[in-house]
Amino acid sequence: MPRFAYVNGRYVRHADAAVHIEDRGYQFADGVYEVCEIRDGLLIDERRHIDRLERSLAELRIPKPMSRAALGVVLRELVRRNHVVDGLVYLQVTRGVAPRNHPFPAEGTPPALVVTARSVSRAYADHHAEEGVAAISVPDNRWDRVDIKTVSLLPNVLAKQAARDAGVYEAWFYDADGNVTEGSSTNAWIVTGDGVLVTRPAEHGILRGITRTVLLDVAARLGIKVEERKFSLEEAKGAREAFITGATTIVTPITKIDDRVIGNGAPGSVATELRKAFHDFAERSPRWSHG
C-alpha cells in the first residue's frame, strides 16, 4: 500500500516526497513542528497542537502556511490516505526556500509545509508502559528558547542517542542547578513518597507539552495532588515513581534513572492510573475539520 505525504500544496507518494535544497529548514533548522497522536483514526488534541504551532510560528516570525481550517483538512486527508488508525501525524513549517543567507528571506517568501502520517502499533507503546523503561541523565546544553517547538533538535538527538548507546529509552536533561528540565522528546514527572505529583513549571526551560497540559487536568479530576515546581535529579532518583509524557508515549513509567531503581522497579500506580484515564480527557477531533 503506497504511503503519501503532503508537500507544499500537493499530496505525493512518500517515496518521492522532497523539498528544495535551499529550504531554510534544511539549511538553518529554521522551522517548527508538531506531532499529534492519531487514535481510532481521529486526531488527539488537535486544537491545542495547532494553538502551539501558531505560537511557535509567531515567536519566530514565520508566517502561517494556511488557515486552521485548511490545515485541518490536510491533516485529515493525509491520515485517510495513509489508512492510519493508530499512529501519528507530523507537520513541519519552515521559513521557506531562498538563496542561503542568514537574514530572513524577502517579504512574501511563502513558508514551506510538509506533513507525514504513519501507523504505530498501540501494542508497542502499551508494552513499554506495562514494563516501564529506563532513562539516563545528561546535562541540558540546549538554547534558552526550548519553549518553541523548533526542528532545531541536535542536542535532543545527541541525548537520545546517548540513551540508546546506554541501552535505555530516554535521556533526562538536568540544568546547571541539578534540576531536571525534561526528556529529550518528553516531559518529566515524579511522584513523591507522600503521593504528590511533581512536574517542572512550563514558564522556562521546557516545552509546554500538550500531553502535560491535559495530564494536569486529568490529575486534578482524579483528585491527585499536583505541585508544579522544579525537582532535582537526586529527588527524582529517590522518588516513589517517575514517568514521561508526550504525544507518542502518553504516560510511560520510568523504572530506573542512571543506576538507581525507582520505587520498587515496577511501573507505579499513579502513572498507570493516569495513563488509563488520559484518553477519557484528551480531545478527539471530529472527522471533519471545523477550522
- Does residue 210 touch ligand PDD according to CB under 6 A? yes
Q: Does 211 bind ligand PDD (CB under 6 A)?
A: yes
CA atoms within 13 A on the CB side of 6: 27
From 259, 256, 215, 217, select the one nearest 239 (Cα to Cα): 256
Site string for ligand PDD, 23-62 (x = CB under 6 A): ------------x---------------------------
**Site size for ligand PDD (CB under 6 A):** 15
Question: What is the spatial distance between Cα 256 and Cα 265, in angstroms, rounded to a whole number?
Answer: 7
Shortest Å distance, C-beta 92 to ligand PDD:
11
Compare residues 96 and 246 and give the one whose CB is closer to ligand PDD. 246
Residue of 150, 179, 187, 272 interacting with ligand PDD (CB under 6 A): 187
Amino acid at 42: L
Contact between 207 and ligand PDD by CB under 6 A: the answer reads yes
Whether the Cβ atoms of residue 243 and residue 189 lie closer than 8 Å to each other = yes
Q: Report the residue number, 6 or 278, with the smaller CB distance to ligand PDD.
A: 278
- Applying the rule CB under 6 A, the residues between 90 and 109 that interact with ligand PDD are none
Please pick, from the candidates 92, 185, 252, 272, the single residue that binds ligand PDD as defined by CB under 6 A.
185
User: Binding to ligand PDD by residue 116, rule CB under 6 A?
Assistant: no
Host H or E run for residue 52: helix 46-60
Of positions 247, 257, 271, 282, contacts ligand PDD by CB under 6 A: 247
149 carries an active-site annotation: yes
Q: Which of 31, 246, 253, 268 binds ligand PDD (CB under 6 A)?
A: 246
In the set 56, 199, 245, 252, which binds ligand PDD (CB under 6 A)? Answer: 245
Q: Restricting to residues 134-173, name those near ligand PDD by CB under 6 A.
A: 156
User: In this structure, which amino acid lies at residue 165?
Assistant: D
Task: Please identify, using beta-carbon distances, which residue of 90 and 104 lies nearer to ligand PDD.
Answer: 90
Please choose, from the candidates 257, 252, 222, 217, the residue with its C-alpha nearest in 3D space to the C-alpha of residue 239. 257
**Four-residue CA torsion sign, 94, 246, 197, 155:** negative
**Cα 137 to Cα 159: distance, rounded to the nearest angstrom:** 9
Question: What does the alpha-carbon distance between residue 243 and residue 274 come to, in Å, rounded to a whole number?
Answer: 10
- Which one, 44 or 262, has the nearer CB to ligand PDD? 44
Smallest separation, CB 66 to ligand PDD (Å): 21
Q: Which residue is nearest to ligand PDD (CB)?
A: 209
DSSP 3-state of 283: coil
**Which residue spans within the chain are E strands per DSSP?**
4-7, 10-13, 31-39, 42-43, 87-94, 112-119, 133-139, 170-174, 180-183, 187-191, 197-199, 226-228, 241-246, 250-257, 260-261
Among the listed residues 27, 109, 119, 248, the single contact to ligand PDD using CB under 6 A: 248
SS3 26: helix
C-alpha cell at 101: 543567507
The set of catalytic residues is 149
Site residues, ligand PDD (CB under 6 A): 35, 156, 182, 185-187, 207, 209-212, 245-248
